[in-house]
Structure 1
Amino acid sequence: MISVFGRWYRRKFSDPDAAMLLILIILTTAALLLWGGLIMPVLVAAVIAYLLDWPVSRMVRLGLGRTISCVLVLMGFVIISILLLVGLMPVISRQSINLIQETPLIWQKAQDWILTLPEKYPDYVQVYQIHQMMEGLNDKLVEVGEQLISASVSSLGDVAALLVYLILVPLMVFFMLKDKMFFVHSISSVLPRERRLITQVGQEMNIQIANYIRGKVIEIVIVGAVSCITFVLMDLRYAMLLGVLVGLSVLIPYIGAAVVTIPVAVVAMFQWGITPEFWYLMIAYSIIQALDGNLLVPVLFSEAVSLHPLYIIIAVLFFGGLWGFWGVFFAIPLATLVKALITAWSSNPPAQQHPA
């Protein structure tokens, strides 16, 4: 077994370029695991800089100076963000509070409906089974409520962190955009000379991540806006809140769409019951999801490396467990990185052995 492992290691990592790539991955992963929370503002700034680099580059090509382009693009981004927050946050907050207040009523109505099942299907459902299930669900709901209350109390201490994000992140984004080439050359000067595979993987992932971030933001905006308009036109309660949730659900492929279907269906059923209006809404929601998966995603991510759905789900679970929201957001680029690394090592020719 040791000899087999030794031959595999010499075949894959006898090349100094492959060894340097492995060392860089190990060091980067260790740094993120140890200090990921401390450098999170830097990572957030890097994400926003990736998003804004495309319009800055286009303005520079039109003849504007890079500094002026960075200022204009960053100001536009901040103004749009403020307008969205001012316009959406009060509505979303109000609808969230109303939905939380009505949750006990929705749950009571659901229990009343569940209690009718033994009468309708006496051969399949027994009364004691329903009571056991409802007792377990009630205990679970109480536990979840306690966790939400404790989380909201503990989040009061994050005000300082929020101020750090609001002040330092825009400054870091500006300097990352303005002095992009300076930082690229600085990073290149630190890397070892044996970096053929590092450069190969880095160039591929630079394109992949930039395309993914821009495409994902556009997808969130389009799906969220279409969902909000559809829900408002169909007079669904909490339309803005549910529309925003549907838009954000595209961050998690497959899983997000399945999870967000539950609140949409529950609110519609509570509002209309099992009526034609309920089915009309679910059909419209299904059409939005189908157009997103079969039309919008292929158009926005046509240059992305295709991954099997199972790999995407595993990546979401793994990286989301490591880094929370940002792990989920970057699950697909990180999975693509793993695939690029495997491809680079698999196609890497073994180092030539020179006779002594």
Structure 2
Amino acid sequence: MALPVREQVKYWCIALAVLFLLLMLLGSVILPFLVGGAMAYFLDPVADRLQRLGLSRVAATTVITLIGLLLMVLIVLSVIPTLISQTSALINAAPEIAKRLQGFMIEKFPELTDSTSTIRTTLAEIGAAIQAKGATLAQGVLTSALSLLSAVVFIVVVPVVTFYMLLDWDHMVARIDAMLPRDHAPVVRRLAGEINDALSAFVRGQLTVCVALGTFYATTLMLVGLQFGLVVGAIAGAITFIPYIGALVGGALAIGLALFQFWGDWVSIGLVAGIFAIGQFLEGNVLTPKLVGKSVGLHPVWLMFALSVFGSLFGFVGMLVAVPVAAAMGVLIRFAIAQYQASTLYQGVSGQDSAPPEDVR
């Protein structure tokens, strides 16, 4: 005999509360396992395709791991040193940029020469603060990054976790399927399939968009001669998954740097602005429709809300799980709405007698 609905809801709520409690208490501990699991999830279709080509699961996992390690080494040797040097140079140049901004403002607005001017005092304080805190900020950012993404975690633990989870992925899915409540297994499988479709379409597609746009921005900005172009492109590409924020932040940073570097050379400044205009056009009309699609069901506002809430509650780990949770909740909400519209509470007795409800997905 199946458990009453009230009892089932109670047990599912307890399981959800335990999950959130574990995220709060063990966030830093489970971080490498979350990253490894995410990478295994992304790479599982590749492993399945290699298996269809004739490789065993062990051979497919080994090939993927070796290629991934090779790419990581190439990135570390070719891109990371330039990125770090440009970031340090940008921070060191911040005081000079502030002084040039102050000079530009005084030139255009002579009334700022008044020593009692609030704007002049504020600009002077900003410049002094940047000059005093620039080195400390750089060191703090580097220390935080190293403490969060330690070399041991991402060089040793994550690849090992990814390898074993990718190797046993199909077995884990089969085991979880075998543990489903028999009365609800068909519905759970259907909902899990919809969640997987939404999540894979969004995450894999959006990551591809981020990499493509970041590469485009970094390459074109460096080609037009913008200093720190690699840093600006990396920042713009990394936060492209937040709708409109990547282009706004990257564009403002790039155009601001171009104004100081190319002041008077309006062609170069226009090229920098045009790069982000082209990037936005490509993202909105080519990349996102082709790679992400319109049937994912993750509204930009819902996504930003999930990132904000989970980021504030669970920190970096929360931001990692925000998108999967948002996708799952979107599917569950649509399922709940469909159940409500098929119920007597929505249709009434006359509605059920007149016509069968449609299957609203």
TM-score norm. by structure 1 comes to 0.82
Name the structure 1 match of 2:176.
Answer: 187
Unaligned 5+ runs, structure 1: 1-12
**Cα distance per residue 1:217-266 (max 9 Å; x no partner):** 32122112211221122121222222222221213222232222232122
Change (3 A) 1:287 1:330: farther
Aligned pair in 2 of structure 1 residues 328, 32: CA closer, same or farther (>3 Å)?
closer
Shift of 1:49: 0.6
- Write the distance in 2 (CA, Å) between the matches of 1:77 and 1:149: 30
Distance 1:333 1:178 in 2: 22
1:280 aligned residue: 271
CA 1:217–1:284: 2 relative to 1, 3 Å: same
Instruction: Select the residue among 162, 166, 170 that pairs with 2:155.
Output: 166
Displacement after TM superposition at 1:39 (Å): 0.8
Q: How does 1:102-251 map to 2 (within 5 A)?
A: 102-119=93-110, 128-134=117-123, 137-138=126-127, 141=130, 146=136, 148-153=138-143, 161-193=150-182, 195-196=184-185, 197-251=187-241
- CA offset digits 1:290-310 (Å, max 9, x no partner): 211232011111165233332
> C-alpha separation between the residues in 2 aligned to 1:303 and 1:66?
33
Which stretches in structure 2 are left out of the alignment for 5+ residues? 345-361
CA RMSD of superposed structures (Å): 3.2
The one-letter amino acid paired with 2:65 is L
Quick one: higher RCO (CA 8 Å, sep 6+), 1 or 2?
Answer: 1
Instruction: Pick closer, same or farther for the CA change 1:131–1:187 going to 2, 3 Å.
Output: same
Distance 1:284 1:165 in 2: 33
Deviation of 1:166 after TM superposition, in Å, equals 1.5
TM-score, with length taken from structure 2: 0.81
Does the 8 A contact of 1:16 with 1:194 survive in 2?
no
| Distance in 2 between residues matched to 1:335 and 1:237, nearest whole Å | 38
Structure 1 residue 174: deviation in Å?
A: 1.4
Deviations 1:26-65 (A, max 9, x none): 3322222222221111100011111211111111111211
Cα 1:155–1:311 change in 2 (3 A) is closer
1:267 aligns with 2:257: yes
Question: Equivalents in 2 of 1:139, 1:36: separation in Å?
Answer: 37
Q: Which residue of 2 aligns with 1:292?
A: 283
Residues 83 and 230 in structure 2, CA contact (< 8 A), matched pair in contact too: yes
- Supply the AA of the counterpart residue of 2:167: K
User: What is the CA-CA distance between 1:333 and the residue it aligns to?
Assistant: 3.5
Q: Give the structure 1 partner of residue 353 of structure 2.
A: none
Relative distance call for 1:173 and 1:225 in structure 2 (3 A) is same
**Shift of residue 276 of structure 1?**
2.6
Query: Taking every aligned residue pair, what percent have the same amino acid on both sides?
Result: 26
Over 3 Å counting, the alpha-carbon distance change for 1:145 and 1:187 in structure 2 is farther
Kept in 2: contact 1:252–1:329 (CA 8 A)? no
Aligned position for 1:27: 18
Q: CA deviation at 1:103?
A: 1.3
Separation in 2, partners of 1:106, 1:337:
45
Q: Does 1:68 align with 2:59?
A: yes
- AA aligned to 1:254 is Y
Aligned length: 337
Q: Distance in 1 between matches of 2:285 and 2:315?
A: 28
- Distance in 2, matches of 1:94 and 1:327, equals 30
Structure 2 CA distance for aligned equivalents of residues 150 and 121 of structure 1:
34
Matched letter for residue 202 of structure 2: Y
Q: Which aligned pairs between 1:80-91 and structure 2 lie closer than 5 A? A: 80-91=71-82
Aligned partners of 1:139, 1:193: CA distance in 2, in Å? 67
Contact kept in structure 2, 1:47 and 1:213, CA below 8 Å: no
Report SS of the residue matched to 2:32: helix
1:311 to 298, 302, 314: 302
CA–CA distance in structure 2, aligned partners of residues 31 and 232 of structure 1: 44
Which residue, 89, 92, 110 being the options, matches 1:101?
92
Distance change in 2, residues 1:37/1:61 (3 Å): same
